[in-house]
Amino acid sequence: MINRPFNRLTTLALWALTSLGVLLWPLCAGAAEMADGLPLPAQRVLGEVNDLMNRKAYDAAIAKLTAFGRQQQSSGDQAQADPEGRGHPLIDLALGNLYLLKEDYPKAKAALQRVVARRPQRADAWLNLAKACYETRDYDRAAGAFANAYDRSAAGEKDPRHLYFAAVSHQLGGADAEAVAVFEQLFAAHPRQIRPQWRENFVHALMAAGKPRRALPMVRQLARNASGEARLKWQEMLLHLYLRLKMTPEARAYARQLAHENPGEARWWKALTHVELSAGRYAEALAALTVYGYLQPLTETEQQLWADLNLQLDIPGQAAPVYARLLKKKNDPKLLEKLISAYRQAGRYDEALALLDRHWADDPAKRLLRADLLYSARRFAEAAEAYRQTALKSKEAAGQAWLMAGYAAWQVNDLETSRQAFRRASRFPRQKKAALSAIEQLETVN
């Protein structure tokens, strides 16, 4: 049913990411930063940048940091090679945060990648890098960064949202198996903090990963606990899952339950129609489709299905008018054939013949059908000649046509013509037994 997370996934994720905001490290350095080896010149610059940020003078702050910092970070001993802290990771962290605030995500990503490369323990840097990667649709890196932000957080400070965003990023990047694995970690580690939309997206990840049976318990829970339009959608999803998993008894019971709990909701009668059809319960399918038609006008396809079910259940009088009405809108040979069948089934042979002659008078493929209609109308002499002409002109229908020509001639007591026709029919393997039996019966007549 679902190969990618539904459209709300991106919207929900973006909204939630926005709600996280940018984790701004306090630029006036404290004890932790000094312990991180931040030299005094760098501390002074960050303090000045902090004042600029408070005034939302982001461009000026970036200019100051860029002027102070170095473009490339040395791989050597930073404490000896950079006594003023110009290439310190905290300079890049501040720069990355500023670019995030200005929504310049590519530059933010570049700066923050330098930070995590040298200070991989900083959960805040990983989280801001995740946001930058996400905004640039670098979903694979975003997923890894969110996971690192979660893993690097202290034991009592691990935020389940970070795992959720990691899973969502995998989904958006098409890595469904990885998304499922992260969702499983999230649900195992934070069972009491799971939000409804997280459960929804876990379901979509499972479906996209080809694991519908594992999604079934959660879909049941969502169908039971959701409200409003969301509940209707999850109920539809559950019904679809039952059908997809070939759980026909469960699908039928659930569809009937939904239709009777909310009889004014047209979608359940439509669903029940398809469930009954899949189980081969044509009478029940017709009943459900009839109710659906009272609640909502049937499409042309649904009207044809309604007529087909009536014809299947030997109610041609209801099927024929529908076929006739549909034929006025489009010239469909299959519809025409069904209308002729409905007339024939209803004993309206003359109408069937008139329809056939009007549309298919010169169609060789319909000769046998025309002869059958004449026979059904008890116009046996005409039928016998029609069968004979069919047998002479159609190799595919010859065996059946000769057999029926024999029966038609017999009906008007033309026994010799009947006998000749049966003899010809006996040359065809499929008609041989019936033809020889008829010849034997004719001998007793004489």
Q: Which two tokens stand for residue 176?
A: 């469904």
Question: Of 138, 181, 133, 189, whose CA–CA distance to 161 is shortest?
Answer: 189
DSSP 22-70: -----SS--HHHHHTT--HHHHHHHHHHHHHHHTT-HHHHHHHHHHHS-
Q: Which two tokens stand for residue 25?
A: 């490290």
In this prediction, residue 201 carries a pLDDT of 95
Whole-model pTM over 0.75 = no
295 domain residue, yes or no: no
In this prediction, residue 70 carries a pLDDT of 59
352 domain residue, yes or no: no
Do residues 159 and 76 both lie within one domain? Answer: yes
Domain that residue 16 falls in: 1-189
Q: Which two tokens stand for residue 295?
A: 């609640």
- Which amino acid type is present at position 359? H
118 domain residue, yes or no: yes
Do residues 32 and 181 both lie within one domain? Answer: yes
- pLDDT-flagged residues of the chain (< 50): 1-19, 25-35, 71-79
SS3 content of the chain, % helix, strand, coil (to 5): 75, 0, 25
Q: Which two tokens stand for residue 252?
A: 């039928």
In this prediction, residue 87 carries a pLDDT of 76
Do residues 391 and 273 both lie within one domain? Answer: no
Q: In angstroms, what CA-CA distances link 405 with 51, 169, 343, 362?
A: 105, 73, 23, 20
Q: Which two tokens stand for residue 1?
A: 């049913």
Total domains present in the chain: 3
Q: Which two tokens stand for residue 231?
A: 């509940």
Taking the C-alpha atoms of 271, 274, 275 and 279 in order, what is their torsion angle to the nearest 10 degrees? 170
Q: What percent of the chain has pLDDT over 70?
A: 89
In this prediction, residue 363 carries a pLDDT of 77
For the four alpha carbons of 397, 403, 406 and 408, in that order, the dihedral sign comes to: negative
In this prediction, residue 86 carries a pLDDT of 81
233 domain residue, yes or no: yes
Do residues 37 and 105 both lie within one domain? Answer: yes
Domain finish residue from 232, 252, 287: 287
**Contact (CB, 8 A) for 334 and 319:** no
Q: Which two tokens stand for residue 308?
A: 């087909």
- Which amino acid type is present at position 20? L
312 domain residue, yes or no: no
